[in-house]
Amino acid sequence: GDSVTQMEGPVTLSEEAFLTINCTYTATGYPSLFWYVQYPGEGLQLLLKATKADDKGSNKGFEATYRKETTSFHLEKGSVQVSDSAVYFCALSSYNNNDMRFGAGTRLTVKP
């Protein structure tokens, strides 16, 4: 079945460092891809999405490009802030499923 694999954490960075969180997927057909963020004690919020190959999703300085040839959707940010500390989930949705498939989550801690 469809699935998502993302890099294990935790990831600890200093403020203003560059962030990459890797995400790869397995799916039949053409899924839509998402990054969700979860701040401590809260539910998940949509961060960005891409619905077709070569699309780039972006929001709050974060970006991810839908790469069909490498089945990847890596999350990047050029300069992280302390307020970016959270757990990040890669996810996919496809016409084969009635639900969203999530990766295991990557915890990011940004230190001042």
Residues that bind other proteins (CB under 8 A): 32, 34, 36, 41-46, 49, 51, 89, 93-100, 102-105
Beta carbon nearer to other proteins, 64 or 93: 93
Q: Calculate ∠ Cα 110-45-36, nearest 5°.
A: 65
- In whole angstroms, give the CA distance from residue 12 to residue 35: 19
CB of residue 63 vs other proteins: minimum separation in angstroms?
Answer: 18
- Report whether 9 contacts 106 (CB < 8 A): yes
CB of residue 44 vs other proteins: minimum separation in angstroms?
Answer: 5
Beta carbon nearer to other proteins, 82 or 104: 104
Beta carbon nearer to other proteins, 18 or 95: 95
- In whole angstroms, give the CA distance from residue 73 to residue 39: 21
